[in-house]
Copies of this chain bind each other. A is one copy, B any other.
Amino acid sequence: MDLLNLENPVFVTYAIAASLMVVKVMGQGWMTVHRMLKVGGGWASPEDLRTGLINKNPDPSQLNTNDYVDRSRRIHRNDLENIPAFWIAGLLFVLADPALLSAQLLLYGFVAVRLAHFLAYATKQSHEIRATFYTLGSLIVIYMALHMIWVTII
């Protein structure tokens, strides 16, 4: 039975959730670019101090860490610590052929809590709020991985 096709509503759920997370991760890179251009700083490499279209008035201080830019990089790093694991755990979850409702709750639930985590981080909410959304997302991914291990054992 081939489960990875668009006739399978569980796969469609996964495909939408995983694609939204792709756009999220790639968009985070663009948020960093936007912030670097806006403040004209937070650059990563010495050669970024050359005069050019991107940098019209180079200054060594542009290589300093800038919290406005670095915040976007930290969000990005947190994404990379969670979302690739979600992609593969979710794919394996689809291949374990779960009930549609549980797939929707877990997969769309992950998208929702990661969006909430992004908003909490970007708007500098207290650690407790950010940690709550992180925890929920992390538990969803761990649950899906353990579910696959469980299914292979029974």
> Judging by beta carbons under 8 Å apart, are A25 and B81 in contact?
yes
A52 CB-CB contact with B under 8 Å: yes
A148 / chain B contacts, CB cutoff of 8 Å: 15-16, 19
What's the minimum C-beta distance from A35 to chain B, rounded to whole angstroms? 14
A23 / chain B contacts, CB cutoff of 8 Å: 142, 145-146
A115 CB-CB contact with B under 8 Å: no
How far is A121 from B46 in the complex, measured between Cα atoms in Å? 11
A54 / chain B contacts, CB cutoff of 8 Å: 127-128, 131
What's the minimum C-beta distance from A143 to chain B, rounded to whole angstroms? 10
A29 / chain B contacts, CB cutoff of 8 Å: 81-82, 134, 138
Q: Which of chain A's residues 65-99 have a Cβ closer than 8 Å to chain B?
A: 67, 71, 74, 76, 80-82, 84-85, 87-89, 91-92, 95-96
A81 / chain B contacts, CB cutoff of 8 Å: 25, 28-29, 76, 80
Interface residues of A: mostly helix, strand, loop or mixed? helix
Residue of B2, B15, B71, B80 near A84 (CB, 8 A) is B80
Residues of A within 8 A of B (CB): 1-6, 11-12, 15-16, 18-20, 22-23, 25-30, 33, 43-48, 50, 52-55, 67, 71, 74, 76, 80-82, 84-85, 87-89, 91-92, 95-96, 121, 124-128, 131, 134, 138, 141-142, 144-146, 148-149, 151-152
Rank and list the top 9 A-B pairs by shortest CB-CB distance, nearest first: A22-B145, A19-B145, A87-B88, A84-B84, A2-B2, A47-B124, A19-B148, A48-B127, A22-B89
